[in-house]
Amino acid sequence: MRIALSNQEKYLIHEYWYVAPENIKTQLTNKRRKTVDIPYEEIKDLVGFLSLECNHCKSNQLSFELNALCEKLEEFC
């Protein structure tokens, strides 16, 4: 699935999705690219990783950003 993401959202995914496939990591680090192609099955895993990180982070701002990103990605599940 092709998902439109901001640079901040791509940064958060790159930072907290430890097992992201290499082809997706490459897309996430490209600042000019506004969309990322993520297979449907991978979106579920990504939401799980981000939710886990959201529940364990100490920063309220980071928790808010990760939660908002999870909600956005869950629309594609």
CA distances, 54 to each of 22, 31, 74 (Å): 23, 24, 14
Q: What is the pLDDT of residues 40-73, one digit of tens each?
A: 889 999 999 999 988 888 889 999 999 999 999 9
Question: Rounded to two decimals, what is the model's pTM?
Answer: 0.88
Q: What is the pLDDT of residues 6-43, one digit of tens each?
A: 999 999 999 988 888 999 999 999 989 999 999 988 99
Q: Domain locations in the chain? A: 2-74
Q: Which two tokens mark 20?
A: 């992201």
